[in-house]
């Protein structure tokens, strides 16, 4: 039985996972351990992404925390090709297994790594839990199975604009109101959260784009039949538009394929708060209507944004800034004075997300 759990290596990108784990009591997480000392020790883990408190402290010192737990959640982490640090994390996970600690792994592993850790876990009489993305055995022959429940989508004008947080928050809020929700998240490693991940076949170079689109339609119909939901929440990976010639955000290809095969009923588009202005807001509906054939019902305003001052031509990775909730509120208020074309919601605040969910329910009830 899993009693006391720590998260390592904790970072901003895992905060949405930790909120969901804590809200749904999936594991008894007592500490979120960061690598190094780049955040305040013992501060609430929710502060790392500027969001509301989680009730779990951030800690330094993996080894000390390891001695006080029986399970480690191995968090997915942005390594940015830093192989030395990745190897350091691997060695710490190996040490945890040697001490008989259970591992719940959210990191994507190679087959060789997975086999190694499973063997170590078996040798030390502990668990290594790793749930791969569900492999859908269906056909892409174009058979059109009916999808007869409302579909809510969460997209982003760009990447890294709090889509996953929004998907989880909408899912939890609708579930709390008694609705049976099928969530297919924009992440490919969400299965351990008891939700469905975006299907990996959509990224496979072995399938044609037409085959992917047909299979996606079939997959969602299959899940609808399996789960019998009242509503489907679908997170769409990637962005809708390139940021520039170098950072293309995958050109909105996944979004184009999703909206080509699905009739959606309520669409949330997330944007960075520091690029939010009346010009952007007024252009988004036309971009989405004419490029993707979908209507925008709401704008989700993210407190995560691109760190423009650190952007250099030779950079291979993007860096992001985190703003507080007040900054998001001020940006929304200013933009509302200039344009009232779309409803906007602060994705950092729970009460604002609740208002978004209320609007979804009203819209889908009309």
**pLDDT tens, residue by residue, 322-344:** 899 999 999 999 888 766 678 99
Span(s) in the chain for CATH 3.40.50.720 = 5-129
Q: Lowest mean pLDDT of 31-45, 145-159, 247-261, 328-342, name the range.
A: 328-342
The pLDDT score that the predictor gives to residue 21 is 95
- Mean pLDDT for the stretch of residues 145-165: 93
Residue 330: count of CB within 10 angstroms of its CB: 13
Q: Find tokens 């047909």 and name the residue.
A: 214
Q: How confident is the model at residue 243 (pLDDT cuts 50, 70, 90)?
A: confident
Mean pLDDT for 343-366 is: 95
Residue 113 pLDDT exceeds 60: yes
Which residues make Cβ contacts (< 8 Å) with residue 192, sequence separation at least 6?
104, 106, 129, 131
Which pLDDT score is estimated for 340?
A: 66
| pLDDT of 132 | 78
| Residues paired with residue 300 on neighbouring β-strands, in sequence order | 270, 345
Q: pLDDT grade, residue 202 (50/70/90)?
A: very high
Q: Is the model more confident about 206 or about 311?
A: 206
pLDDT classification of 314: cutoffs 50, 70, 90? low
For the chain, percent of residues with pLDDT exceeding 90: 71
Per-residue pLDDT, 168: 97
Reported as a pLDDT band with limits 50, 70 and 90, residue 36 is confident
Does the structure show a pLDDT above 60 at 291? yes
What is the maximal distance between C-alpha atoms in the chain?
64
When pLDDT is averaged across residues 229-236 and rounded to a whole number, the result is 98
Helix (H) or strand (E) holding 234: strand 231-235
Distance (Å) of CA 291 to CA 240, 252, 297, 341? 9, 10, 16, 19
Q: Residues 299-314: what's their mean pLDDT?
A: 75
pLDDT-based confidence at residue 362 (cuts at 50, 70, 90): very high
Torsion angle of the four alpha carbons 97, 99, 102, 105, in this order, in degrees rounded to the nearest 10 = -40
pLDDT at 236 over 90: yes
pLDDT band at residue 133 using 50, 70 and 90 as cut-offs: confident
The class that CATH gives domain 5-129 is alpha beta
More confident residue, 40 or 20: 20
Reported confidence tier of residue 188, pLDDT bands at 50, 70, 90: confident
Kindly tell me if the per-residue pLDDT of 274 is higher than 90. Answer: no
Does 313 or 199 have the greater pLDDT score?
199
Nearest CA to 349 out of 313, 331, 325 is that of 325
Residue 309's pLDDT is: 63
* Span 61-76, average pLDDT: 95
Q: Using 50, 70 and 90 to split pLDDT, how confident is the model at 152?
A: very high
pLDDT exceeds cutoff 90 at 306? no
Per-position DSSP letters for 97-133, written without gaps between them: HHTT-EEEE-S---HHHHHHHHHHHHHTT--EE--PP
Domain with CATH 3.40.50.300 in the chain: 151-365
Question: 197 or 248: which carries more pLDDT confidence?
Answer: 197
Residue 315 pLDDT > 60? no
140 pLDDT more than 90: no
Confidence of residue 313 (pLDDT cuts 50, 70, 90): low
Mean pLDDT, the chain, integer? 90
Q: Measure the CA dihedral 140/142/146/150, to 10°.
A: 70
Architecture (CATH level 2) of domain 151-365: 3-Layer(aba) Sandwich (3.40)
Helix then strand then coil, in percent of the chain rounded to 5, is: 45, 15, 40
Share of the chain above pLDDT 70, in %: 94
């Amino acid at each position: 039985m899993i009693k006391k759990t720590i998260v390592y290596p904790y970072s901003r990108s895992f905060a949405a996972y930790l909120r969901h784990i804590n809200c749904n009591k999936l594991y008894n997480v007592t500490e979120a351990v960061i690598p190094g000392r780049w955040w305040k020790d013992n501060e609430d883990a929710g502060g790392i992404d500027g969001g509301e408190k989680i009730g779990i402290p951030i800690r330094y010192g993996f080894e000390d925390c390891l001695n006080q737990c029986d399970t480690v959640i191995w968090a997915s982490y942005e390594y940015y090709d830093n192989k030395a640090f990745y190897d350091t994390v691997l060695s710490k996970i190996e040490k945890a297994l040697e001490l008989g600690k259970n591992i719940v792994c959210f990191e994507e592993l190679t087959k060789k790594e997975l086999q190694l850790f499973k063997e170590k876990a078996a040798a030390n009489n502990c668990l290594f839990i790793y749930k791969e993305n569900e492999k859908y055995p269906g056909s892409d022959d174009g058979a059109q199975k009916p999808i007869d429940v409302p579909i809510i989508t969460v997209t982003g004008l760009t990447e890294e604009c709090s889509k996953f947080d929004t998907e989880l928050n909408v899912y939890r809020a609708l579930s709390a109101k008694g609705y049976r929700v099928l969530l297919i998240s924009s992440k490919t490693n969400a299965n351990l959260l008891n939700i469905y991940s975006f299907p990996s076949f959509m990224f496979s170079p072995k399938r044609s784009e037409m085959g992917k689109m047909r299979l996606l339609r079939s997959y969602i119909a299959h899940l609808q039949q399996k789960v019998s939901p009242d509503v489907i929440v679908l997170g769409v990976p990637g962005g809708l538009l390139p940021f520039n010639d170098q950072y293309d955000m995958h050109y909105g290809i996944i979004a184009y394929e999703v909206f080509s095969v699905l009739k959606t009923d309520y669409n949330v588009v997330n944007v960075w708060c520091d690029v939010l202005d009346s010009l952007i807001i007024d252009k988004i509906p036309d971009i989405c209507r004419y490029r993707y054939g979908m209507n925008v019902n709401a704008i989700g305003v993210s407190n995560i944004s691109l760190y423009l001052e650190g952007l250099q031509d030779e950079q291979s990775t993007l860096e992001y800034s985190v703003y507080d909730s007040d900054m998001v509120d001020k940006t929304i208020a200013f933009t509302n004075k200039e344009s009232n074309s779309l409803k906007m919601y602060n994705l950092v605040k729970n009460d604002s997300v609740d208002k978004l969910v209320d609007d979804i329910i009203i819209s889908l009830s009309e």
